[in-house]
Amino acid sequence: MTTKVITDSCSDITQQEAKRLGITVIPAYVHFGEEVYRDGVDIDGDEFYAKLLTSTVHPSTAAPSPGDFAKAYEEAAREADEIVSVHVTKKHSAVYEAALVGKEIAEKKGCRIEVVDSRGVTVWQGLVAMAAVKAAEAGCNLQQVVTEVHATISRLRALALLDTLRYAVKGGRLSNTIFAIESRVNVKPLITLQDGEVRPAGLARTRRKGIDRLREFLRAAPRIEDLAIAYGTTPDEAQTLAEYALSLFPNVVPRIARLGPALGVHAGPGALATVLCQAR
């Protein structure tokens, strides 16, 4: 039995990476007023962040349609017997629900599909999708792949630094009151993932101190088997953090990814995130 892995662009797996890994990435949609873009297809990171900083209209995002999922599932079924579809946490997106409806459509044509809530965003979700690929390549059947995916989710930990909460407020994720407090005291917020929800993890007085917190997060980690770093507009910081992580864990090569438009809408420029997978 051949198992195919599908995910959405909130995973920040690029189309090039996806091709190498054999993953199908279904793009979410980004709206700048009347302009609509497919995340990672019609607009890349450079174009998105340039528009985010200059556009008079704050962008919004939309999940792929059930039809988008059904089409991808039907195409994948031509070369696979089973499909594992890994998606952004359902607590912050409608993507998971759209995938479930797409599954209902495609399964009527005889394809076995399991839709999985990664319980995370960006490279967290990406690591989950990659774990599914590894299990499938090892010859696991559909249920075994899903079991491995959930085992991976249980071992993931995350910490991210935002430069501002302005974009989360504009996108309706936080209240103006929280942003007003941040603006007055001029701090940098830290966030984490718990049970599929993005939650506050503290404040840093400066960006430098915020990055120090990310380093502390890495230093405090027990043995790890995987690590990923996501950045919005600061690739040098991501590379420096990856080099630091490599000094702590010489046998783990950090994956560096660009925080794409679907999540950059809410995180804003300057976001820097670390996700690690604890060893078994």
Looking at residue 108, what is its pLDDT? 78
Looking at residue 132, what is its pLDDT? 98
Strands 272-278, 156-161: pairing is: antiparallel
Q: List the domain boundaries for the chain.
A: 3-28+63-154, 156-278
Looking at residue 183, what is its pLDDT? 53
Looking at residue 107, what is its pLDDT? 87
Looking at residue 171, what is its pLDDT? 54
CATH topology of domain 156-278: Hypothetical Protein Tm841; Chain: A;domain 3 (3.30.1180)
Which top CATH class is 3-28+63-154? alpha beta
Render pLDDT for 101-158 as a digit per residue (tens, 0 to 9). 999 999 877 789 999 999 999 999 999 999 999 999 999 999 999 999 999 999 999 9
What global pTM score does this model have? Answer: 0.94
Chunked mean pLDDT (size 10), the chain, 280 residues: 93 94 97 95 95 92 97 94 96 96 88 95 98 96 96 98 81 49 69 91 93 98 96 98 97 97 93 97
Interatomic CA distance for residues 264 and 150, integer angstroms: 26
Helical (H) or strand (E) element with 87: strand 82-87
Instruction: Name residue 144's amino acid.
Output: Q
Looking at residue 110, what is its pLDDT? 77
- Angstrom CA distances, 189 to 16, 152, 175, 211, 261, stand at 32, 27, 14, 11, 20
